[in-house]
């Protein structure tokens, strides 16, 4: 049996507390970055009667000025959008969807998104707008 003397230095460093700290920082970083990603940034049109929608399982379909389509923060094609919305509809039959269209977006793309919502039979639809100046 080996007994270490009192004045003898340790041969190794205990890295367990350092790893614990690294894992906690990693988890905090992941939570903070995913919480800040809500979707693509678009300039929404301004209206005087803007209502806020706060429902559970609310999904956002974003149409950018360039005509790109996003489901929440993920870029999708029109076909992929239909497939994913069908999957959501199967899980949540009363799935609410909001459309965040850029004020300079192509009207055709917004109409294609609305046609997909109609084919999937999603009827709880909202359009995101901002407050107009002077309201």
Domains for the chain: give ranges and CATH numbers: 46-131 (3.30.420.270)
Task: Report the 10 Å Cβ neighbour count for 86.
Answer: 14
What pLDDT, on a 0 to 100 scale, did the predictor assign at position 30?
80
- Kindly give, in sequence order, each residue whose CB lies less than 8 Å from that of residue 72, ignoring residues fewer than 6 positions away: 38, 39, 59, 60
Residue range 2-47, pLDDT digits in tens: 555 667 776 777 888 888 899 999 888 887 776 554 566 667 666 5
What pLDDT, on a 0 to 100 scale, did the predictor assign at position 53?
43
- Tell me, yes or no, if the pTM score tops 0.85: no
Dihedral angle computed from the Cα positions of residues 87, 92, 94 and 95, in that order, rounded to the nearest 10 degrees = -60
- Residue 135 in tokens: 């309201």
What is the rounded CA–CA span in Å between residue 30 and residue 15? 23
What is the rounded CA–CA span in Å between residue 122 and residue 119? 8
What is the pLDDT confidence band of residue 54, given thresholds at 50, 70 and 90?
very low
């Amino acid at each position: 049996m080996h007994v270490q003397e009192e004045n003898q230095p340790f041969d190794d460093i205990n890295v367990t507390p350092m790893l614990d700290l690294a894992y906690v920082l990693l988890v905090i970083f992941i939570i903070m970055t995913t919480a800040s990603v809500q979707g693509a940034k678009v300039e929404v049109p301004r209206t005087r009667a803007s209502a806020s929608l706060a429902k559970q399982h609310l999904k956002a379909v974003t149409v950018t000025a360039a005509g790109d389509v996003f489901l929440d923060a993920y870029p999708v094609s029109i076909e992929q959008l239909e497939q994913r919305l069908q999957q959501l509809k199967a899980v949540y039959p009363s799935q609410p969807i909001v459309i965040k269209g850029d004020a300079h977006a192509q009207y055709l793309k917004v109409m294609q998104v609305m046609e997909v919502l109609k084919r999937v039979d999603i009827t709880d639809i909202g359009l995101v707008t901002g407050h107009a100046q002077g309201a």
